Structure 1
Amino acid sequence: MSNKITTLLFDLDGTLVDTNELIFSSFQHTLDLYYPGQYTREDILPFFGPSLTSTFYGINGEKAEEMIEVYQAHNKAHHDELVTIFPTVLETIKQLKESGYKLGVVTTKRTEVAKMGLELTKLTPYFDVFIAFEDVEKTKPDPEALFKAIEMLDSRPEEAIMVGDNFHDILAGKYAGMKTAGVSWTIKGVDYLKSYEPDYILETMSDLLDIVEGKR
């Protein structure tokens, strides 16, 4: 008999909140300063998902911290004008919370800007746990953050589902022994996400309501 889902963990960027243009803009601004004209939007796409630390150290280890600061300054300055919430997210999260499910955010983003996104989209009150880049030694796809969230929620992996838009969300969920759900609105394309074999693909966030009730 399968375990009933009691706990839902969510990635933030690209899953709950639409930060795609903000991320593109922040990377483009930063990379154009250091490598003028060398990076296109297509080149930037693989940087969606991993932490800024892993991305910028991969580009230039000596300048990585400096580049992160430039990225973050641009990101904060343009945050509220470029960030929106995906359709049905707020209503679904609210309904899950009111139904007694345990909810957490697990992001590779740094705390300050991640919390700005939750505040802007009015999602903050619905989450019991928030795990960001600074809270772990190893970011997704390592399952450390997911295990930490589960422990804080007094839950178990077999009762949880990890929802995300990127491969590292799906792999982290699998490594943690959880169910996984990929979102069809991932900027990398749903076929990319399907290749990592999540248990579910969400056409819209409200699909989760049927999943947790065992209708899917």
Structure 2
Amino acid sequence: MTETKQVTTILFDLDGTLINTNELIIASFLHTLDHYYPERFTREDVLAFIGPSLFETFSRMDAEKCDEMIQMYRAFNHEKHDTLVTEYETVYETLDELKKAGYKLGIVTTKIRDTVNMGLKLTNLGQFFEVIVTMDDVKMPKPDPEPVLLALEQIGSKPGEAIMVGDNYHDVLAGKNAGTATAGVAWTIKGAEELAKHQPDYMLEKMSDLLQIVGVK
């Protein structure tokens, strides 16, 4: 387990951690891939694409058409966003309790800021966060430590005081690489057992489990 001092700061991934964007992401990938590779990809195939940046995924398929594919993905994603996105159980209540208790809260995501803002506005979660680090802010996305370290710098905390919470191994490794404690979420679409292989310090069955971990309840 990563050694932590008293926790003052909690950083969260967004998709699949705070808000349920899984169906939106899957639909966006299938819409895009069916255009370029008709009937080649299934729902199960695209699960592996949840977590990495769009550039990482599409550039491996076709470097020349990568930007074009990202544009198609994002256009569909934004169009369907408010219809398909929901909030996970106990997320709002947990963030509210943590904020009232004085914890510094931030988001570290591989999404672009415009899409992040859509999700936070829809769920009314944006009020809780002091710092939001997106793909627009860094050169190297998770699992590189850059986004986590940038969030900590902006929020005024040290790695040993922080926990990185996420649904994907990219989140766990980014936290480990930055020197924070890490927490995986059991509701990850890829399965808790798969995420547990990357040895997060904690595994949350529901978001409110965080309150006991940091000593709020």
TM range, normalised to the smaller chain? over 0.9
Seen in structure 2, the aligned counterparts of structure 1 residues 180 and 24 have a Cα distance that, compared at 3 Å, is: same
CA drift of 1:170 comes to 0.2
RMSD: 1.1
Structure 1 runs of 4+ off > 6 angstroms? none
Rounded to whole Å, the distance in 1 between the matches of 2:30 and 2:61 is: 13
Partner deviation per Cα, 1:172-212 (whole Å, 9 max, x = no partner): 10011110000000000000000000000000000000001
SS at match of 2:73: helix
Counterpart residue identity of residue 42, structure 1: E
SS at match of 2:107: strand
TM-score computed with the length of structure 1 as normaliser = 0.98
CA drift of 1:114 comes to 1.1
Which 5+ residue runs of structure 2 have no aligned equivalent? none
The structure 2 residue matched to 1:191, chosen from 182, 190, 193, is: 193
Answer yes or no: is the 8 Å Cα contact 2:98–2:216 preserved in 1. Answer: no
Seen in structure 2, the aligned counterparts of structure 1 residues 20 and 2 have a Cα distance that, compared at 3 Å, is: closer
Residue 157 of structure 2 is aligned to residue 155 of structure 1: yes
- Total equivalences in the alignment: 215
Partner of residue 111, structure 2: 109
SS at match of 1:191: helix
Counterpart residue identity of residue 34, structure 1: Y
The within-5 A match list for 1:172-211 is: 172-211=174-213
The within-5 A match list for 1:59-208 is: 59-208=61-210
SS at match of 1:12: coil
Counterpart residue identity of residue 102, structure 2: G
Identity value in percent: 57
Counterpart residue identity of residue 18, structure 1: N
Answer yes or no: is the 8 Å Cα contact 2:101–2:216 preserved in 1. Answer: no
